[in-house]
Chains A and B, each alone.
Chain A
Amino acid sequence: MNGAEWKTGYLVFAVVWWIASWTLNEWLVRQKPANATANRLLGLAVPLVFGITLLVIWECIVRGFQIPAILLPAPTAIWAKLINSLPILAADFRQTFLKAVLTGFVLGSGLGFVVALLIDRSPFLQKGLLPIGNFVSALPIVGVAPIMVMWFGFDWPSKVAVVVIMTFFPMLVNTVQGLSAASHMERDLMRTYAASWWQTLTKLRLPAAAPFIFNALKINSTLALIGAIVAEFFGTPIVGMGFRISTEVGRANVDMVWAEIAVAALAGSAFYGVVALIERAVTFWHPSVRGGRA
């Protein structure tokens, strides 16, 4: 076969694969397995088939149309690059994720939580801070990144600062909302028990607030990564995911950029997944968890 036939071959293969996998999925979603395990496996299989199909079609299109690697590298090329540059990726991961994201996430969420508890006893401060917190949550806070880089230097502390500011407000707003989630009836019951503010807080209101707090933690897990990566566009030492992405784009190593994005995607999903798992364990009583869906 000559080159042109190969190219059409790839495209035909892509179309055939697409039709086959779509038929498979149409068939799969119509199955009604008897036991729960099979049902869960089916729920995993359908999106998995779809994801693999996307990858296959991507690969075939890149090969079929001979798209230059500088525009869109094939998945296999990205995978090869990923395996080859593991040490660099690991260093970037350490710098951006372990140092900046995790520290900032813990500090920002913790600070938001503590401030929410502090203003809990003052309705006046709540009325004053909540509208401002809500307002700030809608602002493009990533814009403070250049200022933080100026204040705290190029290394990871400035990224931590950006992440802290980004994660603080969602946590504050959600915790304050969550603390008022317990109904009057339940609070009156605690009063009849002569429970102190502290006892009411730990035994009733914090558990009732848990779904809200975890909602904020989930939002923050995504925001933290975004904040750290964007802050790196404004200046870093020569390591970090955001730095790698912006420099490798400049050097036209698009496959390296995609490898970095794959790492970021994996880290982000895993981070979110861990928070969601902890949520299921802590708020096991909540209807959305009991129903078997998180």
Chain B
Amino acid sequence: MEKPQLFRDRIFPVLVVVLAILLIWHVFVFVLNAPFERDQAARAGTTITFSELLPKTFNQERPVLPAPHQIVAELWDTTVNKPITSKRSLFYHAWITLSATLAGFGIGTVLGILLAIGIVHNRAIDRSLMPWVIASQTVPIIAIAPMVIVVLNSIGISGLLPKALISTYLSFFPVVVGMVKGLRSPEMMHLDLMRTYNASRAQVFWKLRWPASMPYLFTSLKVAIAISLVGAIVGELPTGAVAGLGARLLSGSYYGQTVQIWAALFMAAALAAVLVGIVGAAHTMVLKRMGVKP
């Protein structure tokens, strides 16, 4: 078999597709923004030629679809040109969202692992709880978000914690399901071997079940961190929040600031990519230390 080459087989196709998407984007910028300019020209009683129209569609104040360079300019302006503590800095908003995401992710992971341990070791917990855990995944949990925020607000808890709770709720389920699968993944043979060693339950857990569950844990952690970010962003919507990426989306949509919405969206995407990347790196590192050959 031919050896796959990194550039030809992996980077090049992705680059081509990204370029194609950018090209289509530019075409759409023109198509979607042109009606507004034509309308302006018609009101002024002038006709507009194509060569005049083209640059105008790429530099509108509130475009239907902003051109990529406008988004990059907005991102640059709100990250590099503003001090990090400023309320207009996108880093500041990203940090607000990130802190809620990480807090929720942390609580959710710990809770999920604890529950999974309970489920694996006690049949009653398993049979009563597991169907509800699975059923709860089919429920649009996000619908609860506004209520959690407002109710907690009314008893005086506001700020980070309510958003983190929503992230907890969302990130908790993938971890439970993944860990239950992982803790049950050791084969009969291995469990029997532990029995012949006269290993206690705790020993079986720490020496066999826990290490065996690591690949499953990290796979669910990747899902969990992505979904806790969604939870934190959605958690910022209903309160008309003042800060955070969700608040940027909301205020952008109120005031028709499309460029601001897109910039916040790209920031959220970058944040998600970095978070998933970190979990992925931790995954490979842990597996390597445990001696798993790639």
Seen from chain A, the residues whose Cβ lies within 8 Å of a Cβ on chain B are 22, 25-26, 28-30, 43, 46-47, 49-51, 70-72, 124-129, 131-132, 135, 138-140, 142-147, 149-151, 221-222, 225-226, 229-230, 233-235, 241-242, 245-246, 249-250, 254, 257-258, 260-261, 264-265, 268-269, 271-273
| Cα(A29)–Cα(B122), bound, Å | 10
Report whether B17 and A129 are in contact in the complex, using a CB–CB cutoff of 8 Å.
Answer: yes
Cβ distance B131 to chain A, nearest Cβ, rounded Å: 4
Report whether B132 and A51 are in contact in the complex, using a CB–CB cutoff of 8 Å.
Answer: yes
Report whether B124 and A26 are in contact in the complex, using a CB–CB cutoff of 8 Å.
Answer: yes
Report whether A132 and B128 are in contact in the complex, using a CB–CB cutoff of 8 Å.
Answer: no
| Cα(A272)–Cα(B135), bound, Å | 9
Across the A-B interface, the 10 shortest Cβ-Cβ residue pairs? A128-B13, A146-B253, A50-B128, A128-B17, A272-B138, A127-B13, A47-B131, A225-B140, A46-B127, A265-B139
Report whether B238 and A249 are in contact in the complex, using a CB–CB cutoff of 8 Å.
Answer: yes
Those of B5-49 within 8 Å (CB) of chain A = 9-10, 13-18
In the bound complex, residues from chain B placing their C-beta under 8 Å from that of A149 are 253
Instruction: Kindly supply a per-residue 1/0 record for chain B positions 241-270, scoring 1 wherever the CB is within 8 Å of any chain A CB and 0 otherwise.
Output: 000010001101100101001101100110
Report whether B16 and A25 are in contact in the complex, using a CB–CB cutoff of 8 Å.
Answer: no
Main secondary structure of the interface of A (DSSP, over half): helix
| Cα(A28)–Cα(B141), bound, Å | 30
Report whether B273 and A125 are in contact in the complex, using a CB–CB cutoff of 8 Å.
Answer: no
Cβ distance A220 to chain B, nearest Cβ, rounded Å: 12
Interface residue B146 (Cβ < 8 Å from any Cβ of A): yes
Report whether B252 and A249 are in contact in the complex, using a CB–CB cutoff of 8 Å.
Answer: no
29 A-B residue pairings within 8 Å (CB atoms): A29-B123, A50-B129, A70-B154, A127-B9, A132-B17, A138-B272, A139-B272, A140-B226, A142-B233, A142-B234, A143-B265, A144-B265, A146-B261, A147-B261, A150-B253, A222-B140, A225-B140, A226-B142, A230-B237, A233-B234, A245-B147, A250-B150, A254-B147, A254-B151, A257-B146, A260-B143, A264-B139, A271-B138, A272-B138
Are A242 and B138 CB-contacts (below 8 A) given A140-B269, A150-B258?
no
Cβ distance B6 to chain A, nearest Cβ, rounded Å: 12
Are A230 and B234 CB-contacts (below 8 A) given A132-B18, A150-B253?
yes
Report whether B142 and A229 are in contact in the complex, using a CB–CB cutoff of 8 Å.
Answer: yes
Report whether A140 and B229 are in contact in the complex, using a CB–CB cutoff of 8 Å.
Answer: yes
Report whether A25 and B124 are in contact in the complex, using a CB–CB cutoff of 8 Å.
Answer: yes
In the bound complex, residues from chain A placing their C-beta under 8 Å from that of B128 are 25, 46-47, 49-50
Those of B93-142 within 8 Å (CB) of chain A = 123-124, 126-132, 135, 137-142
Report whether A268 and B64 are in contact in the complex, using a CB–CB cutoff of 8 Å.
Answer: no
In the bound complex, residues from chain B placing their C-beta under 8 Å from that of A254 are 147, 151
Cβ distance B92 to chain A, nearest Cβ, rounded Å: 18
| Cα(A264)–Cα(B131), bound, Å | 18
| Cα(A265)–Cα(B139), bound, Å | 5
Q: Which of A26, A129, A249 meets B147, CB within 8 Å?
A: A249
| Cα(A137)–Cα(B140), bound, Å | 18
